[in-house]
Structure 1
Amino acid sequence: MTDLLSIADLQEGAVAEILALSERTDLGRPLEGKGVALVFQKPSARTRNSTEMAVVQLGGHPVYIQKEEVGIDTRESAEDVARTLACYHAIICARVMDHRHLVRMAGAVEVPVANLLSDRDHPFQALADLLTVKQLLGRLEGARIAWIGDADNNVARSLAQACVAVGAELTLASPDGYRLSDPPYGVRQVADPAEAVEGAEFVYTDVWVSMGQDEEAEARRQAFAAYQVNEALMARAGNAWFLHCLPARRGEEVTHAVMESPRSAVWRQAENRMHTARGALAWLAGVR
Structure 2
Amino acid sequence: MNNPINGPVNSHRGLYSLADLDDDSIQRIVRRTIELHTDRAAHTSPLTGLVTGLLFTKTSTRTRTAFTTAAIRLGGAPLAFGPADLQTNTGESAADTGRMLAGMLDLLVVRTAGPMQELRELSGGGELPVVNAMSAEEHPTQGLADLATLIHHFGGLDGIRVLYVGEGNNTAVALARVLSRQPGCHAVFASPAGYGLPPAVLAETAATAARHHGSVTEVHDMAGVPEAARGAGGSGDIHAVYTSRWQTTGSSKPDPHWRDAFRPFHVGADLMDRLPDAVFLHDLPAHRGEEVSGEVLDGKSSLAWTQARMKAAGAMAVLEWLATT
Which residue pairs with 1:29 in the alignment? 45
Which residue pairs with 2:14 in the alignment? 3
| Separation of aligned partners in 1, 2:182 and 2:318 | 16
Which residue pairs with 2:157 in the alignment? 140
The amino acid that maps onto 2:290 is E
* Match 2:195 to one of 178, 190, 194: 178
| Separation of aligned partners in 2, 1:268 and 1:201 | 17
* Match 2:249 to one of 211, 220, 223: 211
Report the TM-score when normalising by structure 1.
0.93
The amino acid that maps onto 1:164 is S
| Aligned positions, number | 286
* Aligned partner of residue 127 in structure 2, secondary structure: coil
| Separation of aligned partners in 1, 2:291 and 2:135 | 22
Which residue pairs with 1:81 in the alignment? 97
| 2:30 maps to 1:19 | yes
Give 1:213 deviation, angstroms: 4.0
Distance 1:247 1:111, change over 3 A: same
| Separation of aligned partners in 1, 2:166 and 2:240 | 14
What do residues 86-134 of structure 1 show as CA deviations (whole Å, max 9, x unaligned)? Answer: 2222111100122220122236231211100000010010011011101
Which residue pairs with 1:47 in the alignment? 63
* Match 1:116 to one of 107, 113, 133: 133
Alignment of 1:1-288 (within 5 A): 1-24=12-35, 25=39, 26-72=42-88, 74-98=90-114, 99-106=116-123, 108-151=125-168, 153-167=169-183, 168-181=185-198, 182=200, 183=202, 184-185=205-206, 186-196=215-225, 199-214=237-252, 216=254, 218-287=256-325
- Are the counterparts in 2 of residues 21 and 282 from structure 1 also a CA contact under 8 Å? no
| Separation of aligned partners in 1, 2:310 and 2:251 | 27
Distance 1:137 1:145, change over 3 A: same
- Are the counterparts in 1 of residues 106 and 129 from structure 2 also a CA contact under 8 Å? yes
What do residues 55-95 of structure 1 show as CA deviations (whole Å, max 9, x unaligned)? Answer: 11111111111121114374321112212222222111100
| Separation of aligned partners in 2, 1:236 and 1:246 | 23
- Are the counterparts in 1 of residues 134 and 140 from structure 2 also a CA contact under 8 Å? yes
| Separation of aligned partners in 1, 2:159 and 2:321 | 25
Give 1:170 deviation, angstroms: 1.1
| Separation of aligned partners in 1, 2:23 and 2:277 | 32
Distance 1:274 1:215, change over 3 A: same
The amino acid that maps onto 2:216 is V
Percent of residue pairs bearing the same amino acid type: 35
The amino acid that maps onto 1:144 is R
- Are the counterparts in 2 of residues 130 and 140 from structure 1 also a CA contact under 8 Å? no
Q: Which residues of structure 1 form unaligned runs of 5+?
A: none
| Separation of aligned partners in 2, 1:86 and 1:112 | 9
* Aligned partner of residue 13 in structure 1, secondary structure: helix
| Separation of aligned partners in 1, 2:277 and 2:28 | 30
* Aligned partner of residue 224 in structure 1, secondary structure: helix
The amino acid that maps onto 2:268 is N
| Separation of aligned partners in 1, 2:121 and 2:96 | 10
| Separation of aligned partners in 2, 1:128 and 1:109 | 25
Aligned CA RMSD, in angstroms, stands at 1.8
Report the TM-score when normalising by structure 2.
0.83
Identify the range of structure 1 (236-245 vs 271-280) with the bigger mean alpha-carbon deviation.
236-245
Give 1:216 deviation, angstroms: 4.5
